Structure 1
Amino acid sequence: MFQIIQPYINELVSGIIGMLVIWLPNRKKQSIDNDQAIVNLYRDSLTDLKTRYEEKHQDLKTTFESKLTEFSNKIDDLEKSLDEWKKKYFNLKKDFDNYKKEHP
């Protein structure tokens, strides 16, 4: 059996060596390509992060300003309502005091 394989051993060894010579540099190149892809992915995400941050900041700013105006208007309305209730109270108190004077 060994006699059948013996003439092909040189070709087999040279084939294995040839595959290793081709495979090792390609493996390193593939690793470099993967590393470059990862770097590009991080670079893109950082670039995108700045635009997303600016959009979110602008959105929060407009939301804050709208809430601020809404609450300012509500405070103004409540102050007007308070003034009206104070006037009603003092008018009723004055009427009651007048009633007490007239009806001892």
Structure 2
Amino acid sequence: MEHVQQTATERVTTLMTVSEKSTLESKAKRAGISVGEFVRRSVDFYDPDEIAALAQLADFAEALQRSNLEASEALDRALASIETTRRQLDKDRAA
């Protein structure tokens, strides 16, 4: 995204809780920029469609994690069954 440098001339007053303001100030400080610049960048980069896509990706990742866990558990059961069969075969051969 190309950002054309313009002089800020418009003011927006926003009410927020003490906690929200503190979080905003903390995030701006961690980013090394002013609160105003943090808000301006947030406006430039926030895209509801991208947020929805990220949420969908998070859902896919969670489903993949569940699927991997189920596959791992099925493999563990299969290996245990193979081991039980192997022991039974060894026992039958010894008898």
TM value normalised by structure 1: 0.46
Q: Which contiguous aligned blocks of 4+ residues in structure 1 show a shift greater than 4 angstroms?
A: none
1:9 counterpart = 2:46: yes
Residue type matched to 1:7 in 2?
Answer: D
Residue type matched to 1:56 in 2?
Answer: A
Name 1:37's counterpart in structure 2: 75
RMSD over aligned CA atoms reads: 1.8
Q: Percent identity?
A: 4
1:47 counterpart = 2:85: yes
Quote the offset at 1:35 in angstroms. 1.1
Structure 1 counterpart SS, 2:46: helix
State how many pairs are aligned: 57
Name 2:22's counterpart in structure 1: none
Gaps of 5+ in 1: 58-104
Superposed CA offset, 1:4-45 (max 9, x none): 232322255224302212111111111110111011001111
Residue type matched to 1:42 in 2?
Answer: A
Gaps of 5+ in 2: 1-36
TM value normalised by structure 2: 0.50
Structure number with bigger Rg: 1
